[in-house]
């Protein structure tokens, strides 16, 4: 098994990158879940399917933030990705491994930091001298590939990024789930890149709202504006990116109307 030293932790490269530190495993998933990785403690940053395989392994304790328990059922995962408006329904808080998961996680070696935005319950972990930030921000190629970073709450994600930037000064290494494994200096640059990218995206969304448009039309306009060709814009990418776009629109001063094509928005002027 190939690992990389980041601070005092070992990281198994993958998508997600998996962190190993003194019997603690964070975000075991994707192809890495085929590896024989055991830990006393299995932690997940959030409920997305590619981050939770470790929770189904034998371990003394396991943690997934309670607000992300929908991630353990297939229906919950689908609804969470494509959008649902009845979050409180027991359908979406259904939990397959409830007995094993505690509501809060306490360990002298682990600091749990609430970093919502990507999902409602997303957390980051400071373990030893390393900050594992999960999907709170992304590698440059991931950002430019999807155009919109996947944030169910874009504005909370930006606040979380500011929090991460602050914490990152006091650690030796910073690791994200989907992106390259860089030294601290380059990771600080990547945080800055994510913050600027978010600002750029807000401006693009604003520009697309000069006349009445649906959130899906906003996505297409922004993707085209960011250089994507028509054949690169799939229905899946529109629906996924629509979640982030809606969240950005929600924080702007817009007029709203309902039409046969759905809800339309226009920048208030
Ligand atoms: Zn995720
Ligand atoms: Zn992920």
**pLDDT block averages, 10 residues each, the chain of length 269:** 94 98 97 94 94 92 89 78 69 60 87 96 97 98 96 97 97 97 97 98 98 97 97 94 96 97 95
**Contact present, 230 and 237 (Cβ < 8 Å):** no
Short-list 128, 124, 125, 265, CA closest to 208: 265
Ligand 2 centroid – CA 210 distance (Å): 33
Is the domain of 163 the same as that of 251? no
Is the domain of 122 the same as that of 243? no
Instruction: Note whether residue 252 is domain-resident.
Output: yes
Is the domain of 215 the same as that of 195? no
Instruction: Note whether residue 204 is domain-resident.
Output: no
pLDDT at residue 75, as a whole number: 79
Domain that holds residue 112: 4-199
Ligand 1 centroid – CA 46 distance (Å): 7
Ligand 2 centroid – CA 30 distance (Å): 9
Tokens 């972990």 -> residue: 125
Sheet of strand 123-127, all strands in order from the earlier edge strand to the far edge: 110-114, 123-127, 130-132, 173-175
Is the domain of 224 the same as that of 192? no
Ligand 2 centroid – CA 78 distance (Å): 14
Residues near ion ligand 2 (Cβ under 5 Å): 135, 177
The last residue of a domain, from among 199, 225, 247: 199
Short-list 268, 257, 160, CA closest to 215: 257
pLDDT at residue 87, as a whole number: 64
Count of domains observed in the chain = 2
Instruction: Note whether residue 194 is domain-resident.
Output: yes
Helix, strand or coil for residue 110? strand
Is the domain of 90 the same as that of 184? yes
Instruction: Note whether residue 168 is domain-resident.
Output: yes
Q: The domain spanning residue 179 has which CATH number?
A: 3.60.15.10
The last residue of a domain, from among 199, 227, 254: 199
Is the domain of 180 the same as that of 242? no
pLDDT at residue 218, as a whole number: 98
Instruction: Note whether residue 12 is domain-resident.
Output: yes
Ligand 1 centroid – CA 125 distance (Å): 15
Tokens 């027991």 -> residue: 90
pLDDT at residue 78, as a whole number: 78
Instruction: Note whether residue 169 is domain-resident.
Output: yes
Tally the residues of the chain: 269
pLDDT at residue 142, as a whole number: 96
Is the domain of 146 the same as that of 232? no
Is the domain of 152 the same as that of 249? no
Short-list 122, 121, 124, 118, CA closest to 152: 118
**Contact present, 149 and 247 (Cβ < 8 Å):** no
User: What CA–CA distance (Å, rounded) separates 183 from 24?
Assistant: 21
Instruction: Note whether residue 240 is domain-resident.
Output: yes
Is the domain of 219 the same as that of 89? no
Is the domain of 10 the same as that of 112? yes
Is the domain of 108 the same as that of 215? no
Instruction: Note whether residue 129 is domain-resident.
Output: yes
pLDDT at residue 46, as a whole number: 96
Rg of the chain, C-alpha, whole Å: 19
Helix, strand, coil share of the chain (percent; to 5): 40, 20, 40
Ligand 1 centroid – CA 207 distance (Å): 28
Ligand 1 centroid – CA 56 distance (Å): 18
Is the domain of 54 the same as that of 133? yes
Burial of 105 (0-12, 13-18, 19+ CB in 10 A): middle
Q: Considering every ligand atom, which ligand is closest to the CA of 16?
A: 2
């Amino acid at each position: 098994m190939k690992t990389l030293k980041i601070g005092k932790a070992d990281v198994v490269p993958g998508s997600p990158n998996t962190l190993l530190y003194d019997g603690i495993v964070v975000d075991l998933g994707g192809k890495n879940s085929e590896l024989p990785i055991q830990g006393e403690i299995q932690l997940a940053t959030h409920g997305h399917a590619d981050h939770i395989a470790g929770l189904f392994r034998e371990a003394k304790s396991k943690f997934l933030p309670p607000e992300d328990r929908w991630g353990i059922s297939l229906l919950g995962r689908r609804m969470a990705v494509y959008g649902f408006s009845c979050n409180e329904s027991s359908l979406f808080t259904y939990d397959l491994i409830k007995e094993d998961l505690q509501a809060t996680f306490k360990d002298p070696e682990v600091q749990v930091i609430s970093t919502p935005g990507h999902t409602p319950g997303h957390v980051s972990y400071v373990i030893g001298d390393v900050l594992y930030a999960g999907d709170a921000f992304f590698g440059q190629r991931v950002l430019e590939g999807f155009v919109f970073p996947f944030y169910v709450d874009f504005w909370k994600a930006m606040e979380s990024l500011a929090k991460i930037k602050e914490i990152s000064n006091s650690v030796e290494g910073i690791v994200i789930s989907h992106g390259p494994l860089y030294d601290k200096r380059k990771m600080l640059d990547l945080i800055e890149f994510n913050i600027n990218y978010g600002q750029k995206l807000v401006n693009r969304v604003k520009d697309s709202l000069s006349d009445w448009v649906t959130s899906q039309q906003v996505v297409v306009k922004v993707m085209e504006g960011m250089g994507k060709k028509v054949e690169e814009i799939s229905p899946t990418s529109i629906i996924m990116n629509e979640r982030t776009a809606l969240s950005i629109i929600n924080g702007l001063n817009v007029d709203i109307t309902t039409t046969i094509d759905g809800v339309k928005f226009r920048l208030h002027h």
